[in-house]
Amino acid sequence: MTDLLNKDYTEKLFRREYAKLLSVTAKLFGPYQINLAEDAVQDTLITALQNWRIQGIPDHPTAWLIKVARNKSIDIIRKQKRFSLKDESLSHLLTSEYTLTTTVNEIITDKYIDDDLLRMMFICCHPELSTESQLCLILQTLCGFSVSEIAKALVSSYESIEKKLYRAKKTWRDLKLSLEWPEANQIQSRMNAVLTAIYLLGNEGYHSTHHASLTRPDLLQESLRLNSLLISHSITNLPEVHALNALILFMNARYPGRINQDGTFVNLKNQDRSTWDTSLIEEGNKSLERAMQTKSITRFHLEAVIAQIHANSTSYIDTDWTSICTLYDTLNDLYPNHVIAINRAIAMSEKGDVLNAYTELKSIEKNSSNHPPYLLYPALADVCQKLNLKEEAIINYTSALTKSKSEIERKYFKDKISFLSMQT
């Protein structure tokens, strides 16, 4: 057993194990009774936290947690006055004390965890649910996001996400869904929501919007893990899955360069590219090559190619900003949204078209006055600085400062404000 209970380690472990536990217990209770599975998992993790503080973390945490989850599930079934499942023959086995323990032990097992996780992914993306509800469910059940983390990842309010999760789970109850693979013709239609959730998880790892750290390698690793589950199954081993895999690999390769040894943020122009992981870049190149063996190009293909250009550029000066602009033009045409438009304007500025970039960003600011994306402020501040609009740059860096939760990033903005203030 591990002697010490490290907070960071257990946080990462619990996030990873939560999805596994929920998927295997959902086999017992059914997604339509997901609240019972959630109760069993939460009780299991609380028990783990209490025991591990005294006994240390076991050598095989998953097996330990599965064993406790079985006992918690048995306790929940015994407390239910009326317990029913979609499969009535199974319900009978669970209401009899002679067969209860044996049946639960057979159902809640770690033998088929990967398959259970994949099934849960597609249950979360049931066509009766809205796209955002699908994303909320995946981020909560498979990625271990809290309601507040989901709200920030989807740029929404806590109350809105809470309502979406409640309504989505009510739909599961109304449909009495079981943990089964969808029909073959439904796999493709649900795939985009699954990939988008993994994509959001990877983005949160590369640039955290609400954590003290600017980067969260654990979330990047988790996004790779979930995506690898899709690659490992013949039904879901699709070109767009490889495209997303490449994108996340490129992010994993580059994130070490974003923070100096003294803990300060380093922008792309000043990053030491020798800190980038060349083995991951090569792996990303191979994954993108596999992704391109298709006639259907998705947003994940386009974003992966942009990330590939950055990852394979030997220096900032050598970066092909013209190609990046063209790719963002295509992205903006196919999937128009403010975040893509902002990134497009940043690329325009980097290739030297600063004035048009400023015009584009001001237009975005005007059209998104109620909920402007966080990325707008530092992007606009940087362009204003290039145009020698120092006071406007300070205003936008100040807005970015108030929005950021990362102390590393906040210090970067403070330094920018101090530097510009001395020049005005």
Cα 171 from Cα 151, distance rounded (Å): 20
Cα 207 from Cα 339, distance rounded (Å): 14
- In one-letter notation, the amino acid at residue 408 is I
Please state the φ and ψ torsions of residue 334, each to the nearest 5 degrees. -85, -35
DSSP secondary structure letters along 313-345: -SSSTT--HHHHHHHHHHHHHHS--HHHHHHHH
Cα 70 from Cα 41, distance rounded (Å): 10
Tell me the two tokens of residue 223.
């996004």
Instruction: Enumerate the β-bridge partners of residue 2.
Output: 57
Tell me the two tokens of residue 76.
């929940």
Q: What is the mean pLDDT of the chain?
A: 88
Nearest to 383 by CA among 401, 367, 397: 397
Reported as a single tens digit per residue, the pLDDT across 241-270 is: 999 999 999 999 999 999 888 888 899 999
For residue 98, pLDDT beyond 80 = no
% the chain with pLDDT above 70: 93
Instruction: Enumerate the β-bridge partners of residue 265.
Output: 259
Reported as a single tens digit per residue, the pLDDT across 26-65 is: 888 888 889 999 999 999 999 998 998 888 888 899 999 9
Nearest to 412 by CA among 275, 272, 262, 310: 262
Q: Output the pLDDT for position 177.
A: 83
pLDDT band at 383 (very low <50, low <70, confident <90, very high): very high
Reported as a single tens digit per residue, the pLDDT across 278-308 is: 999 999 999 999 999 998 899 999 999 999 9
Residues 397-420 have a mean pLDDT of 91
Q: Output the pLDDT for position 156.
A: 79
Reported pTM:
0.83
For residue 313, pLDDT beyond 60 = yes
Cα 256 from Cα 237, distance rounded (Å): 29
